Amino acid sequence: MNKHESISGLILAGGRGTRMGQVDKGLQPFRGKTMAAHVLERLAPQVASVAINANQNLDVYAGLKVPVWPDDLPGFAGPLAGMEAGMRRCATPYLLTAPCDSPFLPPDLAERLLAALEAAEADLAFAMTQEPGQRPQPHPVFCLVKANLLPVLSSYLAEGGRRMDGWYKDLKVVEVPFEDADAFRNINTLDELRGLDTGHAVRPAARLQDVTSCLSDYDPDALPVKQAQHIIREFVQPVGAVEQVALRAALGRVLARDIVSPINVPAHDNSAMDGYALRGADLPAEGQVQLKVIGTVYAGRPSDTVPGPGECVRIMTGGVMPEGCDSVVPQELLAEESEHQVVLRAGTIQLGDNRRFAGEDLAAGSAALRAGKIIRPADLGLVASLGIAELPVRRRLRVAFFSTGDELRSIGQPLDAGSVYDSNRYTIYGMLQRLGCDIIDMGIVRDDPAALEEALRSACENADAIVTSGGVSVGAADYTKQIMARLGDVTFWKIGMRPGRPLAFGRIHSNGHDAFLFGLPGNPVAVMVSFYFFAREALLRMMGADAPLSLLRARSEAPIRKKPGRTEYQRGILTHGADGMPQVRITGSQGSGILRSMSEANCMVVLHDGQGSVNAGDMVDVLMFEGLV
């Protein structure tokens, strides 16, 4: 690889970033650095110098220690406008361009383009690839051009031309074949970027059979909890739609793209407390030192005061550190203090104490928030501190739900003999509401094949996911399973757990639409347990969120009987013992129909399948209800 002194390099980063949700593509983190930094790293050894064409976040790009040139044309006119800006400022005979979203560009790009251009006595050379069985693919943005052709390009742009391959029709052009098509790959979406960053490509929708076939011990009639959770996690795919919302409207939503800080936070070195800013060279090694106070620095008020040897500046918390100062002594630690001088004893502070560095909280170009995060109040404040007014978030997930059973009655209806009020819909409503879903309550569906099929089809055509309660147990009418299975890719499980053994899961289709289906059991407590430990994570995954259940350890106050071989979820009340350690007791009878005990509980004790009986004082896993989304 040769460094060609006749070529200047230009990284094209002047776009709006619309394909990545209005974020700057070149500044997106990728394998430990920004994409633009990767391109710079590959391009710089090939050329005499490199500059970046950018129209936003110019200060951040300048942090890469190369010139940053904006378009001369207004309105984000495209890569040709960036090329024009580069040709205007180019100090070498040739300009080589490369896009900021192609971090794999070949290390011999400049060498091969220049050799081909000179051999053909051409005006312009660009890369071309051809994969087996496909047409040649030109890459005109990977272009080496004579800088003195600026008038040709400027004339084309002045006439309204914007096509990268349209301006050189009257020039002599040579296409240079390269073998590695991936070297010219553009990363256009965050999903694509994350897939490459982790080494995993974005997966197409799988069949449920394909997922379960990978498990050698798969048995739908005796499925362990962890295996069922694994299958659901592998099968469910996120909803791709993204929308831009005002900052306050983003609370509780799932962030769709990484948020890259456009500035350093804090913007300047500043004081961490009220005191006196001084030069580290003035700190006494022994005894004490007297320093002259020459001014005061307030937070938010710039000051040009520069202390010399033996001088200091009174400074308030957040005040910008004066030039030459590197330490702050809190005023309460001084030996003596007056309006014009202070006395500081040796050993009171160390060099650099109480100084906050620029970018200490967030460095410009670093990820402030990662995609998949559920936005909380602190996140709103963080984003506001960056001056960002809108956030890209995932579209709200649409979830339809209904209960099945002729015995169910809605609130307000009289209870017949043998009938009960439908409590499950209200429980499911509450759990979905806390997830931040758009909810479609479809009421009660009676035990009738036509009514059930109509409800499932309607739900499928209007929602991303469907949650049902009842109708999936051994005693359920056969048509329930037949209809669910006929409408799509659905399996029925008997899970090794208590409560909540029966569960249906899959994806159904109707009139060109599809939706994931979670068929929960009918017992009230089993509904909640099944939702929390199976449906919740899947729905959050569909929302693009990363929010696994967080278990904590607590000491059991009393023995708990359990047989190994299944997972048990027991309602519990967590408190703190005399020693301050968390301790838990169960709420008494654990019958799956006793909803009162679920209301009394503040947590759930999770007893794993390989676990036996618990002795008083043993540590157990606990899932807290408070804050559970």
- Residues in binding site for Mg(2+): 101
Annotated binding site for GTP: 12-14, 25, 53, 71, 101
Question: What torsion do the CA atoms of 552, 557, 558, 559 make, to the nearest 10 degrees?
Answer: 30
Written as six digits, the tokens of 301 are 């008020």
Quote the CA–CA distance of 572 and 556 in Å, as a whole number: 10
- The DSSP symbol for 45 reads G
Quote the CA–CA distance of 90 and 76 in Å, as a whole number: 21
Annotated binding site: 12-14, 25, 53, 71, 101
First to last CA, the chain: 55
Quote the CA–CA distance of 314 and 303 in Å, as a whole number: 12
DSSP-assigned letters across all residues of 227-286: HHHHHHHHH------EEEEEGGGGTTPBB-S-EE-SS-BSSS-EESSSEEEE-GGGS-SS
Answer yes or no: are the C-beta atoms of 470 and 493 closer than 8 Å: no
Residue 410, judged by CB atoms within 10 A of its CB (0-12, 13-18, 19+), counts as: exposed
- The DSSP symbol for 33 reads E
Angle between helical axes of 79-89 and 150-158 (0-180°, round to 10): 140
Written as six digits, the tokens of 512 are 């060109």
Could you give the maximum distance between any two Cα atoms of the chain, in Å? Answer: 95
- The DSSP symbol for 354 reads T
What does the chain come to in residues?
Answer: 629
DSSP-assigned letters across all residues of 166-223: TTTTTS-EEEEE-S-GGGG----SHHHHHHHHHT-PPPPPPPHHHHHTT-TT--TTSB
Give the angle subtended at the CA of 280 by the CAs of 275 and 281, to the nearest 5°. 135
